[in-house]
């Protein structure tokens, strides 16, 4: 299974630590967006926390304005908005509900209206990045949000990332990250933000420890304790 | 993130247990191959254990003859064959080295010669199934073994499965299982068989706990503690 | 075009027959589900028969309860339900119409409502497997049914198979089977069940012999006279 | 399963026949290449006949020079070249062996040398089209020939088609045609050309009727009795 | 970066010119459809011109009836229909609006109704080819039109091509042509037809010179000055 | 073709310019790697300049050490190394030849030896990023280099990018960028570096202006004059 027979010394594992702080900063995800706005977008409450809770906590800690935008709340409006608000507070982000005021379904509006809601938010916030669902998700609403986001790109270039398929009950679908973000320092806040969705997990006897396993495996891929893995549709460098 | 708003009671989680033993047996992976021969095929020592060690232990416990076939040993021949033999013993399987007698590289022979080695083994063992690497693996030798196995299919139909990319140092590549095999009862033997490759892991300070995480996540996908996930090229039902 | 130059003797072709009955049973598709329930799901009448009529006949003959579930009947409600009932009787299966009582279109309801209909059926029947359309089908309703089935998986793990794109007038789309099921013993019942859809084929002068050709080619792939080929999203082994 | 409920009259099925001869000629595959040269390229003897025997017969009948180019003969050189010559004569084509003079393997030369052989032939023949294996074939030699052909394109633009995976013993691999060529008039010559490979089929008890089934299914897709289906890498229109 | 070291003489670059006129005609896109009808189909005004304006001009100049069919006009009905009519006149084509009489959205009707509109047009015009959007487009309406066209194929076989994702503000999505059509003689008419959509480009300060760059790059791929690149779902040869 | 009907004002086009310098720096490709080492890797001379010449010039101008590593020189060793050296000087980078001392082919060594050469370089340079060929390239040597790079990742995590298929004579293959790097300030140096390969372009009458067209189209995708587009296998954020 090994690729080379030559023994690989411990040098590989320790060199990274000796990098000067400046160089390390240059590859920081939070610093890339410091002083700017990032939109974390999800179809429903708890999607964002499951997908990118650790990255959001890191971004807001570094001075990025993060808007957690939920498209719709399909049931238990008051409870779920309150839970989402608590989770956003834990992560240091603002909460928005794009279809507010009561229980709504994404399918209640047309695709072009959903694009319109995103357009409005993009014109308002001028985001440097949007983090949302990906095209291989098993949930049609999640795919619809990704597709609407594709269209919104015509207004303005922004970094466009997708997070893994989110689910409280597991449904296997393919997902392969391209961007790895170290969340070793914020994994606990991520888990706490998920836990804030008490009505979805604790009160139904559903565990979410699987998301810690995902983060540990992603971390192992890049030599840190915990990482979130994102797919990339577009990233823009000057 | 939920798909339906209706609460899903605990009935879902308990029904499976009440199935009669006969019905449960019908979906058993080991019983599917009981009394027959299964080939677990890997490019190099330790690949097979990382990929399907738990399934092999279950198969052999149920009376299946399992042949663990290693294509070549690229270095430390004596040590690595001894380790592979110890691992095979732990899993209850037979060990074969297809390019025996000393350190060899798969690239030392032509593709059609590798197909020839597999053909010879298939003619000898008449396997009901072959479990080997998949086409998306990051290691060229692994892909070469998969490709040779594709050709060997012309001799005789057999169930043809691929296991996840195996690595002692992680390299992310896409892999999405289609078959899930409960290894809750054999996870410890799997980990012990991996540990038998002392020269690859312990003596180089490399951990393999990541493979327990993979098994836990795969188990979660089908409601058991630990599972191995395989891709399927072909499965044959009468 | 051959892979190996060595002549391959007739031994390959005869060995399979000498297998003891017990071993053969272990790889039987009907026996895998004996005593349990399988849902064959189609968007409209005749889809199921074209896709998996032979497998259904084999399943029901072996004691599996098979429910043929049709999502909607878009026209000629009485005629088409009667034909579907006749076909189900030929195959030994029960018929259900998920949107009953008159002509309906799948697009008449929202995606989450379609998921809700499937959820209800899954809660009721606790299926060991669902066989339905695949994601590459040329017909949007077929793809919608596949997608809804993806979501229903969150309720309970079940084996999840897709059959080839079904059409009375041919539209070429990609489809590659992974599971092959011997239907040599039930091909005639499959063709009879298709013929029961008199209003779709005979009365419009449309032939369906192409489906016998598909079965013959699939059979050739695994050394039997006729087979149905299914793609696999997930298969679960204990 | 139907897409529209409206009955579709017989008008659809008869209109095509009333087209004037000139219009029909414009969409003719043979006439597209009349007076020019087409290369049918295969890794080994019999590949070309299985893949595009019917199209070759139609091309040569219409005045196209067709060169059937076999890369190598891996065994039984005299016999197989004689059979290939007989098949070429049946189809009205010229035979070339790119690695002539005795049994050779494609892997005996480097990839750039294989590209060199194709380059030489392309410089010599200035083909309007090349028909060869595709990238999803199960046989490594077939894929190698396709890849070499990809590189040869840099010398000169030509129409570049791939035929289905060819095999005397079946190995399922994905293949979806994009171009359909009516071979109703030449199916018998195709079957006769395959039969000329007596050492591969008749003398080993292997049938090739499956290829007639493929042609019938492909024909059904475009409303003719028999068709060959090709994938297209590039087709050039002035 | 070169594939072969051998110098490639100028012979390659000049041979094509010496072909007799008859042979050249045989590979002509316009002559393939002369005397027949081609449908160029787009979701909204200006899509068709951006995608295949050059090919349409060449087709109509050679005597093909080209119908430019626009599914819907989402805003500024009078202005946009007038602009589309002017563009069609420049290209020598007829204009049709499938959802006429005022501003409409494709999502205002169901998928099966959209299929019905296309079916009606196909029954009326008996097209030899349809050129429309492709499945990877970033705009949901574009994908919906492609999908509806997939279904319409069941009525009658026709050549089925897709053009590149069209956009006035750029959104990157994958697209790889398979058919290249020389539009060196009609590039100016294409650019003029795009310019006719004054309300979309000039009056909003948006340039469309990018489409000239696309045509130049596509031309370079096949050795002409300008080309349009199309993907192919199906092309039918007699 | 537009996604929204609402007119999009000029605000979108001017906002970016008002960003403070600090924020702009955070998304700079050169600053991400300042003070570190980047390897630009190509199979042969001129590949790197065609693929990422503009990015290299920007990186070196910002203080990044860039090593341009050429695997082999297949012909005209002295001339081509001199040209490559001149190009590297123009771009401010160091030149390395991995198989030095005379004309060599990548196929002269085994895959594991090529991996070994890359491993050695990675151990020596500890790169923050590697930019090389991609997996869809039409040239087998290019794909081999990409594959070897995949394996080298096991030594150490690094950002891993692929550039578009490079060719002096065009061969169309799919490539879709995910990272866009503004090279408006270095496009002229890129073109000059390509021109330094006098023996490949000028002296054979081959133009390379197509690469300026690629850069202009990529620039248009993100609102700058010229950009290079890269695919991303992995990017690592702290």
- Model confidence pLDDT, tens digit, residues B177-216: 999 999 999 999 999 999 999 999 999 999 999 999 999 9
Q: How far is CA C88 from CA C56, C67, C83, C162, C191, in A?
A: 9, 9, 9, 19, 12
| Cα–Cα distance for residue pair A238/C103, rounded to 1 Å | 58
Encode pLDDT of F95-152 as tens digits.
999 999 999 999 999 999 999 999 999 999 999 999 999 999 999 999 999 999 999 9
CB D68 within 8 A of CB D88: yes
Among A204-213, C13-22, F188-197, name the most confident range.
Answer: F188-197
| Cα–Cα distance for residue pair D204/C8, rounded to 1 Å | 8
Element (H, E) at C21: helix C21-26
What local confidence, expressed as pLDDT, does residue D173 receive?
86
Q: Residues near F203 by Cβ (< 8 Å), separated by ≥ 6?
A: none
The torsion angle over the Cα atoms of residues D111, D117, D122 and D127, rounded to 10 degrees, is -90
What local confidence, expressed as pLDDT, does residue B24 receive?
60
What local confidence, expressed as pLDDT, does residue D76 receive?
97
E and A in touch (3+ CB pairs within 8 angstroms): yes
Give chain F's end-to-end CA distance (angstroms, integer). 40
Low-confidence stretches of chain D (pLDDT < 70) are 1-25
Contacts of D107 in chain B (CB under 8 A): 110-112
Of D107, D167, D173, the CB nearest to B111: D107
What local confidence, expressed as pLDDT, does residue D26 receive?
74
- The yes-or-no verdict on residue A14 having pLDDT over 70 is no
- Number of residues in chain A: 238
Contacts of E172 in chain A (CB under 8 A): 234
Chain mean pLDDT for chain A? 90
> Cβ of D150 under 8 Å from any chain F Cβ?
yes
- Residue B7 backbone dihedrals phi, psi, to 5 degrees: -65, 140
| Tokens of residue A155, six digits | 């207004």
Map residue B203 onto helix, strand or coil: helix
What local confidence, expressed as pLDDT, does residue B170 receive?
83
Q: Are F153 and B138 an interchain contact pair (Cβ–Cβ within 8 Å)?
A: yes
Residue B40's DSSP bridge partners are: B68, B131
Residue E67's DSSP bridge partners are: E39, E94
Contacts of D20 in chain E (CB under 8 A): 35
- The yes-or-no verdict on residue E9 having pLDDT over 90 is no
CB C27 within 8 A of CB B238: yes
Contacts of B171 in chain F (CB under 8 A): 150-151, 153-154
| Tokens of residue B27, six digits | 């979906």
Best CA proximity match to C174, nearest among D136, B145, B144: D136
- Residue B190 backbone dihedrals phi, psi, to 5 degrees: -60, -50
CB E119 within 8 A of CB E152: yes
| Cα–Cα distance for residue pair E72/D236, rounded to 1 Å | 32
Q: Are F238 and A22 an interchain contact pair (Cβ–Cβ within 8 Å)?
A: no
Best CA proximity match to F62, nearest among F153, F142, F114, F128: F128
Q: Residues near B18 by Cβ (< 8 Å), separated by ≥ 6?
A: none
| Cα–Cα distance for residue pair E57/E40, rounded to 1 Å | 11
> Cβ of A107 under 8 Å from any chain C Cβ?
yes
Determine the residue among B109, B139, B175 to mutate to test chain F binding: the one whose Cβ has the most chain F Cβ atoms within 10 Å: B139
Low-confidence stretches of chain B (pLDDT < 50) are 1-20
Contacts of B234 in chain C (CB under 8 A): 178-180, 222
Name all chains with 3 or more CB-CB pairs below 8 Å to chain A: B, C, E, F
Of F107, F170, F173, the CB nearest to D112: F107
Encode pLDDT of E207-218 as tens digits.
999 999 999 999
For every residue of E80-131, DSSP letters joined together read HHHHHHHHHHHHT-EEEESS-SS---GGGS-HHHHHHHHHHHHHHH--SEEE
Q: Are B10 and A173 an interchain contact pair (Cβ–Cβ within 8 Å)?
A: no
Determine the residue among E119, E153, E157, E160 to mutate to test chain C binding: the one whose Cβ has the most chain C Cβ atoms within 10 Å: E153
Contacts of F147 in chain B (CB under 8 A): 140
Contacts of B169 in chain F (CB under 8 A): 154-155
| Tokens of residue C1, six digits | 């075009």
| Cα–Cα distance for residue pair F197/F166, rounded to 1 Å | 14
Helices (H), chain B: 11-14, 21-26, 29-32, 47-61, 77-91, 111-125, 140-152, 187-195, 210-222
Give chain E's end-to-end CA distance (angstroms, integer). 40
Contacts of E158 in chain C (CB under 8 A): none
Q: Are C139 and D76 an interchain contact pair (Cβ–Cβ within 8 Å)?
A: no
| Cα–Cα distance for residue pair D107/D113, rounded to 1 Å | 10
Buried b (16+ CB within 10 A) or exposed e, C112-133: bebbbbbbebbbebbbbbbbbb
Element (H, E) at C24: helix C21-26
What local confidence, expressed as pLDDT, does residue D32 receive?
95
| Cα–Cα distance for residue pair F181/F235, rounded to 1 Å | 14
Mean pLDDT, to the nearest integer, of F37-52?
98
Strand residue runs (E) in chain A: 37-42, 65-70, 94-97, 129-132, 159-163, 179-182, 227-237
> Cβ of E75 under 8 Å from any chain A Cβ?
no
| Tokens of residue E236, six digits | 């039918």
Buried b (16+ CB within 10 A) or exposed e, C63-73: ebbbbbbbbbb
Mean pLDDT, to the nearest integer, of C60-88?
98
> Cβ of B5 under 8 Å from any chain A Cβ?
yes
Q: C80-85: list long-range contacts, CB under 8 Å, 24+ apart.
A: C80/C45, C80/C197, C80/C199, C81/C45, C83/C45, C83/C46, C83/C196, C83/C197, C83/C198, C83/C199, C83/C200, C84/C45, C84/C46, C84/C196, C84/C197
> Cβ of A236 under 8 Å from any chain E Cβ?
no
E and B in touch (3+ CB pairs within 8 angstroms): no
- Number of residues in chain E: 238
What local confidence, expressed as pLDDT, does residue C22 receive?
53
Q: How far is CA E228 from CA D58, E49, E111, E231, in A?
A: 30, 11, 29, 10
Encode pLDDT of C36-64 as tens digits.
999 999 999 999 999 999 999 999 999 99
Residue that the structure tokens 């053969």 belong to: C24
Report E:174-213 residues touching A (Cβ under 8 A): none
CB B3 within 8 A of CB A170: no
What local confidence, expressed as pLDDT, does residue C169 receive?
84
Q: Vertex A113, ends A110 and A116: CA angle to 5°?
A: 155
Shortest CA distance from A223: residue in chain F: F157
Structure-model confidence comparison of residues C169 and F57, the more confident one:
F57
Contacts of F173 in chain D (CB under 8 A): 150
CB C43 within 8 A of CB C133: yes
> Cβ of F140 under 8 Å from any chain B Cβ?
no
- The yes-or-no verdict on residue A228 having pLDDT over 90 is yes
Encode pLDDT of D157-174 as tens digits.
999 999 999 988 888 889
Query: Three-class SS string for chain F?
Result: CCCCCCCCCCHHHHHHHHCCHHHHHHCCHHHHCCCCEEEEEECCCCHHHHHHHHHHHHHHHCCCEEEEEECCCCCCHHHHHHHHHHHHHHHCCEEEECCCCCCCCHHHCCHHHHHHHHHHHHHHHCCCEEEECCCCCCCHHHHHHHHHHHHHHHHCCCEEEEECCCCCCCCCCCCCCCEEEECCCCHHHHHHHHHCCCCCCHHHCCCCCHHHHHHHHHHHHHCCCCEEEEEEEEEEEC
Encode pLDDT of E169-180 as tens digits.
888 889 999 999
Q: Are F154 and B167 an interchain contact pair (Cβ–Cβ within 8 Å)?
A: yes
Give chain A's end-to-end CA distance (angstroms, integer). 40
| Tokens of residue C5, six digits | 């130059």
Contacts of E135 in chain D (CB under 8 A): none
Q: How far is CA C228 from CA C61, C162, C182, C216, E122, in A?
A: 17, 11, 7, 9, 34
> Cβ of F234 under 8 Å from any chain A Cβ?
yes
Residue E94's DSSP bridge partners are: E67
Q: How far is CA F129 from CA B173, C159, D121, D147, in A?
A: 18, 43, 42, 29
Best CA proximity match to B80, nearest among B36, B39, B48, B119: B48
Residue E140's DSSP bridge partners are: none
pLDDT band, residue F16 (cuts 50/70/90):
very low
Element (H, E) at E61: helix E47-61
| Cα–Cα distance for residue pair F158/F152, rounded to 1 Å | 10
Q: Are F155 and A8 an interchain contact pair (Cβ–Cβ within 8 Å)?
A: yes
| Tokens of residue F175, six digits | 């490539």
Q: Are strands F179-182 and F227-237 parallel, antiparallel or unpaired?
A: antiparallel
Q: Left (φ > 0), alpha (ψ -120 to 50) or beta: where does B205 sit? A: left
Of E8, E155, E182, the CB nearest to D237: E182
CB E165 within 8 A of CB E175: yes
> Cβ of E118 under 8 Å from any chain F Cβ?
no
Q: How much of chain A exceeds pLDDT 70, in percent? A: 89
Encode pLDDT of C111-143 as tens digits.
999 999 999 999 999 999 999 999 999 999 999
What local confidence, expressed as pLDDT, does residue C3 receive?
36
* Burial (Cβ within 10 Å: 0-12, 13-18, ≥19) of residue F77: middle
pLDDT band, residue A23 (cuts 50/70/90):
low
> Cβ of A136 under 8 Å from any chain E Cβ?
no
């Amino acid at each position: 299974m090994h690729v080379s027979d030559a023994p690989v010394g411990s040098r590989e594992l320790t060199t990274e630590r000796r990098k000067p702080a400046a160089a390390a900063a240059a590859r920081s995800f939070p610093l890339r967006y410091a002083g700017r706005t990032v939109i974390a977008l999800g179809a429903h409450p708890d999607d964002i926390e499951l997908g990118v809770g650790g990255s959001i906590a890191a971004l807001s800690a570094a001075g990025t304005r993060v808007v957690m935008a939920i498209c719709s709340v399909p049931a238990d409006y008051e409870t779920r908005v309150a839970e989402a608000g608590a989770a956003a507070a834990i992560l240091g982000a603002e909460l928005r509900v794009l279809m507010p005021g009561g229980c709504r379904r994404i399918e209640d509006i047309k695709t072009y209206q959903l694009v319109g809601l995103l357009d409005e938010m993009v014109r308002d916030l001028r985001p440097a990045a949007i983090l949302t669902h990906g095209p291989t998700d098993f949930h049609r609403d999640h795919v619809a949000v990704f597709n609407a986001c594709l269209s919104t790109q015509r207004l303005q270039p922004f970094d466009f990332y997708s997070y893994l398929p989110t689910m409280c009950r597991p449904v296997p679908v393919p997902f392969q990250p391209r961007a790895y973000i170290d969340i070793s320092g914020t994994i606990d806040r991520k888990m706490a933000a998920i836990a804030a969705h008490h009505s979805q997990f604790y009160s139904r006897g559903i565990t979410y420890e699987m998301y810690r396993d995902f983060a540990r495996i992603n971390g192992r891929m890049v030599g840190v304790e915990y990482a979130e893995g994102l797919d990339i549709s577009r990233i823009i460098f000057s």
